[in-house]
Every structure is written in C-alpha cells, then in structure tokens.
Amino acid sequence: MKIGDIFYIIAIILFAWITFGIIRGNFERKFDKEGRRKDLIKESDDDAKDSNSF
C-alpha cells in the first residue's frame, strides 16, 4: 500500500468517528435517558393545570 492509501483510510475512519459523535451528541441533547423527547415533556402536571385555568 502506498502512503496516500493509508492516509485515505485514516481520513475515512476519522470522518466516520466524528460524524457518529456529532449524531450521538444531537440525540443526547434531544432525548432523556428513557427515550422521551425533552422538548415535549411537561414540567409537572400541576403546572399544566395552572396554566390552563381561567
């Protein structure tokens, strides 16, 4: 193998590793440990009842 081929393989592996890290970070920011979306979870049921009262 030529040195260019080795650099090409290393670049592909690094690209895949960095891409996986970015995608994993996005999912960790959007979902909690139980797999629920963080932006769709209500703070508590009491807060939801208070905000809907007239």
Q: How far is CA 3 from the centre of its chain?
A: 35
pLDDT at 38: 84
pLDDT at 52: 57
Q: Which amino acid is at 2?
A: K
pLDDT at 50: 55
Confirm whether pTM is higher than 0.85: no
Sites in the chain below the pLDDT cut of 70? 43-54
**Helices and strands: H and E segment counts in the chain:** 2, 0
